[in-house]
Structure 1
Amino acid sequence: MAVLVFKTSVKKKDEIQLLRPSLNRLIEKKGCWNFDLEDCDNILRVESQRLKASVVSLLLQSNGFDCEELQ
């Protein structure tokens, strides 16, 4: 399982709720995702076997959020 880590502009729990259905559709059954809004970079972590970082970034950006993969 690969872990993808992103710096985002998501700042509120209601913004996470907005993204929840789309993020759930992206990952397979054994995958998971979570936000760390306590971190200064509002980190999104995604665990997935086959998901590409560009797909996650595009999803957030299409919903009006900044999203940059951290390496």
Structure 2
Amino acid sequence: MIEVFKTNVQEAAHSEMIVGRLLEHFPNSVISFDLEDCDKILRIHAAVISNHKIIEVLNSHGFHCEVLP
């Protein structure tokens, strides 16, 4: 399963921290940011994905996150 999110993460250091936090909840998944994209894309490839949990993790660190249709 692959899910794609629009975020407002701007800096590589923040994206690396968020990836680390998400890997705590979704081990064995592949998580990456595309900060060059205008939507600052977060892409998660995992067997099971909880959109609510992903949004919650980003929100708890002060970032906006929404599922891209």
TM above 0.5: yes
Alpha-carbon shift at residue 5 of structure 1 (Å): 0.4
Alpha-carbon displacement from aligned partner over 1:4-50 (angstroms, at most 9, x marks no partner): 10000001111113223211112232x21000001000000001111
Partner of 2:51: 53
Structure 2: gaps of 5 or more residues: none
Runs (4+) of structure 1 exceeding 6 A deviation are: none
Partner of 2:39: 41
CA RMSD of aligned residues (A): 1.1
Structure 1: gaps of 5 or more residues: none
Query: What SS class does the counterpart of residue 63 from structure 2 fall into?
Result: coil
| Identical residues among aligned pairs (%) | 33
Aligned length: 69
Partner of 2:64: 66
Q: TM-score, normalised by structure 2?
A: 0.91
